[in-house]
Amino acid sequence: MLWRSNWVKQRRKLINTLCFSSLHTHFSPKPNQINELSQQRASPKPPLTHEDVYSRLQESTPDLKTLTFSLSCAKQNNYFHDDRAFNHMVNVVVRLTHQHKSIDRVIEVLIVNGCVIKPRVLLLLLEILWRGHVYDKAIEVYKGMSRFGYVPNTRAMNMMMDVLFKANLVDRALEVFEGIGVRNFFSFDIALPHLCSGKDLVRVKVVLKMMIREGFYPNGERFGQVLGVFCGRGCVAEGFQVVGLMISSGVSVSVNVWSMLVSGFFRSGEPRKAVDLFNKMGCEPNLVTYTSLIKGFMDYGMVDEAFSAVRIVQSKGLAPDIVLVNVMIHTFTRLGRFQEARNVFLNSLKKGELVADQYTFATILSSLCVSRDFDLGITIGTETELDLVMGNSLINYLCKVGNTLAALKVFRDMSNKDLALDCYTYTGFLTALCQGEAPRDALNMYYEIIKRKKNISLDAHFHTVMIDSLVELGEYSTAIRLFNRCILEKHELDVVSYTVAVKGLVRGRRIEEACSLLSKMKEDGVMPNRRTYRTIISGLCEEKDKDRLKKVVWECIEEGVELDPNTKFKVLCFLSRYPKDCYEFRSVFEKWKEDVDVSNSYNELSISTG
DNA sequence: ATAGGGTTAG
């Protein structure tokens, strides 16, 4: 069964013309039909106009009659519904499917009412549901096609592929894609952006190759999207292949393309090549190119290079935009130059030419948290709609300033917005619950989240926050039970998780178990760091457990983990009471004494909490 | 989807 394709209006017109010409040139009526035909010619039905159809659709009730009318129009050879008519039909069909529970029932009712179910009927239903984003019902229509013995044409399959992609059924979408007998330009132009937004590089590559092999070229916009996906993942080699295709298909290589390639090299871990390309690029770099450079240099600790790029921007008189402002806030924050980060934030927004966006707030909030100086003297982001990262950042900030109620409110707002909450969000949520002295609720929510959010990968932070909160609340045994359960259930844990558990054991005065855990973590392939050793060594000094202390200190030295001056000082103080035991450490202790500024350490000791 | 930018624990 061959169906007419009417993807775009031009195409429609073209096909209409073809239909007419075939009618007039090849149609030779049988003698007994001539009469009928000439009669028709004598009193021709006035052709349908979109205006007439639309006003009849609007007046028509009930829904079933409206649908029948709409279908009868579509059955006429040279009539195609316009956007208005389709949009009107969306609600009609949605109401009918609700009323009759399923598409199959709607079709049965149509048949009972004398409607002949032709391919075009199903195609129209499919298109209505497709435009109305009613994906599950669109799928039902598609299934209905094969039940009626119709083989869907390219257009129907393109639509179905789009529906399946939008319903996030990527594999089924690709099955449809592969099943299309003769793919057209749109088959590819639909598949590519979906695969791009899914960051599915392998399939983007495969589909792009097929597209070219089958004689189609993406337009400039689509090329840019594909290039963006490759560069965004640091696949510059593929990026250059795409650029080659762009050139050969006559799409001009803009400064955007160069900018993408430059940032692509940074992302692929090749800052040198990024710079080479920047120096060789075939057009004048713009603010975006410089922003890529500045960010890239900072990512590789090339601070001088980053600032010389900033100076070039200034000397060229390029006015910073909000993205560059955000990058600068981030840059100063990373360098610990918090005051300058604030100045960029405050000065850039003062004039009102630039408006802070979600990135700005996420960055400055994090900057305030890192600097531990929370008072910016402005209210934050009340007019900016929350997005995922800004919300996460805000929850984190509010927890840090102790406003847990506000943090929980942000969490609630985020949940109501149906953002795809991630492990940052849930970690912040648990922190707020614990700090708001609702640890029981937090623990219940913790288990709930694990049970119900199997699609979110919960990382070590998530588990660690819960364990640490319990420790901080003095619930040592609950904390340790939770930690052990994480081990059993093979949740992701890292050195911080183990350190927190060690801290719980130390605080719970279970020093022997703390030492066993130290050994166990190494067996588990998690290497203790200076904070782990600091935690356990402080505990051993407190417990005055000289023998275990000596053993752990030796391990620490042998593993080459450098302790902080404070902890060194504690060890020196404690062991100095046992001169004989100090002998074996003498060379190490000599060095330590150089590092430990005694007057300073006394001060630090008084505020140290371990 | 629309060049370049953002968030978490001991």
Residue-wise pLDDT for A233-247, tens only, equals 999 999 999 999 999
Nucleotide nearest to A496 (CA to C1'): B10
pLDDT confidence of residue A36? 42
Kindly state the average pLDDT of the residues A353-362.
94
The residues near A400 (Cβ < 8 Å, ≥ 6 apart) are A369, A374
Chain A residues 350-389 with Cβ under 7 Å of strand B are: 357-363, 365-366, 369-370, 387-389
Q: Which CA distances in Å does A264 have to A248, A251, A285?
A: 22, 20, 15
**A18 vs A452: which has the higher pLDDT:** A452
- pLDDT, position A30: 39
Both tokens of residue A232?
A: 């965004």
Q: Does the pLDDT at position A269 exceed 80?
A: yes
- A402's CB contacts (< 8 A; 6+ apart) are A435
What percent of chain A has pLDDT above 90? 63
Rounded Cα gap, residues A199 and A457, in angstroms: 18
What pLDDT is stored for residue A531 in this prediction? 96
Residue A390 approaches strand B within 7 Å at CB: yes
Strand B within 7 A of A550 CB: no
In what helix (H) or strand (E) does residue A305 lie, and over which residues does it extend? helix A303-315
B5 C1' to A252 CA distance, Å: 26
Give A361 CA → B6 C1' in Å: 8
Of A33-37, A216-220, A371-375, A515-519, the one with minimum mean pLDDT is A33-37
Calculate mean pLDDT across residues A394-408: 95
Distance CA A360, CA A356 (A): 5
* Contact flag, residue A153 CB and nucleic strand B, below 7 A: no
CA-based max dimension of chain A = 125
Report the distance separating Cα A15 and Cα A26, nearest Å: 16
A211-243 burial code (b ≥16 CB/10 A, e <16): beeeebbbeeebbbbbbbbbbbebbbebbbbbb
**A window 430-449: Cβ near strand B (< 7 A):** none
pTM of the model: 0.80
Lowest mean pLDDT among A73-77, A346-350, A417-421: A73-77
Tens digits of residue pLDDT in A478-521 = 999 999 999 999 999 999 999 999 999 999 999 999 999 999 99
Strand B and A501 CB separated by under 7 Å: no
Confidence (pLDDT) at A69: 85
Least confident piece of the model among A74-83, A236-245, A413-422: A74-83
Count, residues in chain A? 610
Q: Which nucleotides of B are covered by protein (CB under 7 A)?
A: 1-10
Proximity of residue A404 CB to strand B below 7 A? no
Which helix (H) or strand (E) element contains residue A125?
Answer: helix A119-131
Helix (H) / strand (E) element for A500: namely helix A495-507
Short-list A607, A536, A596, CA closest to A569: A596
Q: Place A607 in a pLDDT band, splitting at 50, 70 and 90.
A: very low
In Å, what is the separation between the CA of A167 and the C1' of B5?
30
* Higher pLDDT, residue A439 or A446: A446
The predicted model gives A529-554 an average pLDDT of 96
The reply to whether the CB atom of residue A517 sits less than 7 A from any atom in nucleic acid chain B is: no
Q: Check pLDDT > 70 for residue A600.
A: no
Whether residue A450 has pLDDT greater than 70 = yes
> How much helix, strand and coil, in percent to the nearest 5, is found in chain A?
70, 0, 30
**Nucleotide showing the shortest C1' distance to residue A528 CA:** B10
Distance A228 CA to B4 C1' (A): 11
Q: Which of A9-23, A55-69, A501-515, A534-548 comes out lowest in average pLDDT?
A: A9-23
What are the CA-CA distances from residue A236 to residues A2, A194, A227, A242, A251 (Å)? 42, 21, 9, 10, 19
Residue nearest to nucleotide B5 (CA to C1'): A323
pLDDT-wise least confident of A40-54, A335-349, A518-532, A591-605: A591-605
* Nucleic strand B near CB of residue A330 (< 7 Å): yes
Does residue A345 carry a pLDDT above 90? Answer: yes
pLDDT at A561 over 70: yes
Write out the two tokens for A162. Answer: 């789009």
Nearest nucleotide to A266, CA against C1' atoms: B4
pLDDT at residue A361 is higher than 90: yes
Q: Does pLDDT of A467 surpass 80?
A: yes
pLDDT of res. A313: 97
Computed from CA positions of residues A586, A592, A594, A596, in that sequence, does the dihedral angle turn out positive or negative? negative
Please tell me the predicted confidence (pLDDT) of residue A593: 87
Per the structure, the residues numbered 69 to 108 in protein chain A that have their CB within 7 angstroms of any atom of strand B are: none
Q: What gap in Å lies between CA A398 and CA A402, rounded to an integer?
A: 6
In this prediction, residue A44 carries a pLDDT of 59
Nucleotide with minimal C1' distance from the CA of A334 is: B6
Going by C-alpha positions, the residue among A278, A331, A280 that lies closest to residue A301 is A331
Domains and CATH numbers, chain A: 459-564 (1.25.40.10)
Q: Which residues contact A446 (CB under 8 A, 6 or more apart)?
A: A430, A466
- Say whether the peptide bond before residue A62 is cis (omega within 30 degrees of 0): yes
What is the predicted pLDDT for the residue at A406?
94
Cβ of A231 near strand B (distance < 7 A): yes
Give the nearest nucleotide to A259, CA to C1'.
Answer: B3
Q: What is the pLDDT of residues A10-54, one digit of tens each?
A: 333 333 322 222 223 333 333 344 344 444 444 556 778 888 888
Check whether A83 has a pLDDT greater than 70.
yes
The pLDDT of residue A73: 82
Among all protein residues, pick the one whose CA is nearest to the C1' atom of B6. Answer: A359
Residue A232 CB lies within 7 Å of the nucleic strand B: yes
Mean residue pLDDT of chain A comes to 87
- Nearest residue for B1, CA–C1': A193
pLDDT band per the 50, 70, 90 thresholds, residue A81:
confident
Asked if strand B contacts A469 at the CB level, meaning under 7 A, the answer is no
pLDDT value, residue A238 = 94
**Between A11 and A203, where is the model more confident?**
A203
Asked whether strand B has any atom less than 7 Å from the CB of A326, the reply is yes
